[in-house]
Structure 1
Amino acid sequence: MALHPEDSDVTEDDIKDVTIKHILVDAAYNDLGFSVGGRLVVLVESQSTWTLNIIIRALMYLAQTYHDFFKRTKQNLYGSKKVNMPKPELYMIFTGEKPKNPPTTISLSKDFFDNEKIAVDAEAKVLYQEDKNNVIGQYIIFCKVYNEQRKNYGQTKKAVMETIRICKNRNVLKEYLENKEQEVVDIMMTLFDDEQILEAYAKDIDDNATHREARENARIMLKNRRITVEEIPNFFPKLTLEDAKELEAEVMQLA
């Protein structure tokens, strides 16, 4: 294992996937979570843009993973018996442009509270080295190749296929890509769909906020008789004549 080379006797059967599954636009999810032999929980979060906020998200993911673990193992957190829990390990795999003097770890106490002792702390090891000799280093190379191809071809299948071709030629994750090529393509295309959903969700939030602001401004102007109902759609393109009539009714009720 790239994270624990000393665990040479660990097999695939010993690894249990505990990735948070509910990938919704307004819910937390992590890129990868797994436990090994019931001994530890490892949460791996891939980031192409550098941010210290990842440690906060990792802590939230960890709490949710523990919640699921205790529920799955039917342990009583309210009983007197001490529960069994796997040892947590947090990792950030950084695949973007490496910042100057990148830290080897990030933590709540160090990066948010000037090394003060705090009630709940979390620390994540930062992995960013490209290395063909281990799977994580190869994954980082794969992601950087993909980022370049996405610049060339956008969020398209062409970008994915070129990434796979280049990496196989460079002997990066070659065996895996040869055996799982269609699965990789499907996963990458699903990620495109997720990004589009997130973008649409963000746009919807912005549109709703803009609509509320326009509605409130129009209401104030209508109340102060600085605008007529018919003029509202002209001055506030986000509002329809129907919106204007509703505002008129509201103003009349408050008069």
Structure 2
Amino acid sequence: MEKENREHKDSVFVDLFYQDETAKKNLLSLYNALHDTNYEDETIIRKVKIDDVLYKNFKNDISCEVNGQVLVFGEHMSTINRNMPLRCLMYVGRAYEQLVDSKARYRTTLVKIPTPEFYVFYNGEKEQPLERVLSLSDAFMNPAGENSVELKVKVININSDKAHEILGKCGILKEYSQFISTVRKYSYEESAIKKAIKECIEKGILADYLKRKGSEVENMLIAEYSYEEDIQVKQEEARQEGIWQGRREGRREGRREGRQEGITLSADIFQMVKKQPDLTNKQIAKNLGCSVEDVESTRKMFGI
């Protein structure tokens, strides 16, 4: 069973806020920033380990209990998954199994439980609002009644250029955001991650952490970006499957939407090739969230 858990790959975010020797300090800083508190005692942090709910084989989420609250944090670099409230509902159920004594659940007296809070930190390249809230009730087939459950997930854009106020309150989150931004700056160069780590150390961005764990961070980022590319491929496959399904069923609307989406994508590819002719097909596909085949067919179509 332990061997199975080792198959999960951790992101830098998880390592920094859950696994590293400074993780409790970093978590407390994040908690204080979200709640405008000034706690200094790291012992109030209790880590809660949950596997295999938000992400299958890649660990990009953490949870902890602090001061009568159970907090679930996830990080997204790809398109925001609107099913996060459902997945968080399943996640917090497993967390309560750990936090609430099994015998206490059957008492007739009220059992107090930590108040749940859910956050997703968006750190991707696509345009997203500074904040948004995803609600479980948005997925309900029928309108929510008095006895329906509700769960809300706050999505916070932590890209450094967006300057969300939480980055000013939590120094470690700000430095993490700056680090990811630096990695992206070098993304089309050889040894990109090594160059980003070197620059961040020189500028004092996560310097101590990167000095201690530079090679580990490099391996985590390679795994992370491979995972994100895999997610994008699956999204593209789902998009294409939806288009072809519409065609097979003879839905005129499905055909129109599929054709329009194809036209828009081709135009985007054409513009990027013209503006940045040195980019490879793979780089263009990654930037636009499409397949390499889409880029190749557009180049052939326009002779570029």
Superposed CA offset, 1:141-160 (max 9, x none): 3334335555545xxxx444
Corresponding residue for residue 153 of structure 2: 124
Tell me by how many angstroms 1:175 deviates.
Answer: 3.4
Tell me by how many angstroms 1:108 deviates.
Answer: 1.9
Distance 1:32-1:188 versus aligned 2 partners, 3 A rule = same
Tell whether the 8 Å contact from 2:61 to 2:75 is kept in structure 1 after alignment.
Answer: yes
What letter matches 2:179 in structure 1? F
What letter matches 1:140 in structure 2? S
Q: Choose between structure 1 and 2 for higher RCO, CA contacts under 8 A separated by at least 6 residues.
A: 2
Aligned mates of 1:114, 1:3 — CA distance in 2 = 35
Tell me by how many angstroms 1:177 deviates.
Answer: 2.4
Please list, as runs of the form range in 1=range in 2, the aligned pairs for 1:237-252 lying within 5 A after superposition.
Answer: none
Please state if 1:184 is matched with 2:217: yes
Please state if 1:82 is matched with 2:102: no
Tell whether the 8 Å contact from 1:29 to 1:61 is kept in structure 2 after alignment.
Answer: no
Tell me by how many angstroms 1:46 deviates.
Answer: 0.5
Distance 1:16-1:151 versus aligned 2 partners, 3 A rule = farther
Aligned mates of 2:38, 2:142 — CA distance in 1 = 36
Q: Over aligned residues, Cα RMSD in angstroms?
A: 3.7
Tell whether the 8 Å contact from 2:53 to 2:90 is kept in structure 1 after alignment.
Answer: no
Aligned mates of 2:60, 2:174 — CA distance in 1 = 20
Please list, as runs of the form range in 1=range in 2, the aligned pairs for 1:5-84 lying within 5 A after superposition.
Answer: 5=33, 6-21=36-51, 31-37=61-67, 39-51=68-80, 52-70=82-100, 73-84=101-112
Distance 1:114-1:17 versus aligned 2 partners, 3 A rule = same
Where do 4+ consecutive residues of structure 1 move more than 6 Å?
A: none
Corresponding residue for residue 104 of structure 1: 132
Aligned mates of 1:63, 1:26 — CA distance in 2 = 17
Query: What is the SS of the residue equivalent to 2:107?
Result: coil
Q: How much identity, in percent, do the aligned residues show?
A: 23
Larger radius of gyration: 1
Higher helix share: 2
Structure 1: 5+ residue runs without aligned partners?
203-255
Query: What is the SS of the residue equivalent to 2:94?
Result: helix
Superposed CA offset, 1:65-119 (max 9, x none): 122222xx4443233232231111100000012535454322223x435995351
Query: What is the SS of the residue equivalent to 1:106?
Result: strand
Relative to the length of structure 2, the TM-score reads: 0.50
